[in-house]
């Protein structure tokens, strides 16, 4: 084989390998472009006065809310994601492509926890509803609410709800 055809074959193989690598990345996270999430501090204050601090990612845009915690394999005990909406309303979440169990804390516009869905089932397509108007949802690792004694009526301290942590 002469040098020219050999170089052509190597170039075709390189292109094919590049396409395979791109395909593998696409299949690993189908339909998902990393949108990036800003971070913020948040605190939960229980009725008994206990304070629990978290570092959360913010899901504010439709793209961020759509991606959420999908495809994550772990979530630190003091971490979470805060989904924020412009207006309070009946909110609905699901666990599609979410590999870790979560506690979902639905939050009123005033920063009050109005409902907690504990230990949600990973990968479930079941709709989880707020049950009353909510302006945000805080997702934390499953079992966090029970471990820290967090209940409906507790307060979320975050600028989105008019209170700094």
* Whether the Cβ atoms of residue 157 and residue 50 lie closer than 8 Å to each other: no
| Burial status of residue 95 (CB atoms within 10 A of its CB: 0-12, 13-18, 19 or more) | buried
pTM of the model: 0.79
Quickly state the pLDDT bin for 163 (edges 50, 70, 90).
Answer: confident
Residue 56 has pLDDT above 90, yes or no: yes
Residue 28 has pLDDT above 70, yes or no: no
Q: Tell me how far apart the alpha carbons of residues 78 and 51 are, in angstroms, rounded to a whole number.
A: 12
- What are the tens digits of pLDDT across the range 86-140? 999 999 999 999 999 999 999 999 999 999 999 999 999 999 999 999 999 999 9
Per CATH, the homologous superfamily of domain 39-161 is Protein of unknown function DUF192 (2.60.120.1140)
Give me the residue spans of the domains in the chain: 1-30, 39-161
Residue 145 has pLDDT above 90, yes or no: yes
């Amino acid at each position: 084989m002469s040098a020219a055809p050999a170089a052509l074959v190597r170039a075709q193989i390189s292109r094919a390998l590049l396409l395979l690598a791109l395909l593998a990345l696409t299949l690993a996270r189908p339909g998902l472009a990393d949108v990036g999430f800003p971070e913020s501090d948040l605190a939960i204050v229980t009725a008994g006065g206990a304070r629990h601090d978290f570092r959360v990612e913010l899901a504010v845009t439709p793209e961020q809310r759509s991606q959420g915690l999908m495809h994550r394999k772990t979530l630190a005990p003091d971490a979470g994601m805060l989904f924020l909406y412009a207006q309070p309303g009946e909110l609905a979440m699901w666990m599609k492509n979410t590999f870790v169990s979560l506690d979902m804390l639905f939050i009123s516009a005033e920063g009050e926890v109005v409902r907690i869905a504990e230990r949600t089932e990973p990968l479930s397509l079941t709709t989880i509803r707020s049950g009353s108007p909510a302006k945000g949802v805080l997702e934390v690792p499953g079992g966090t609410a029970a471990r820290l004694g967090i209940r409906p009526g507790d307060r979320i301290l975050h600028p989105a709800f008019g209170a700094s942590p």
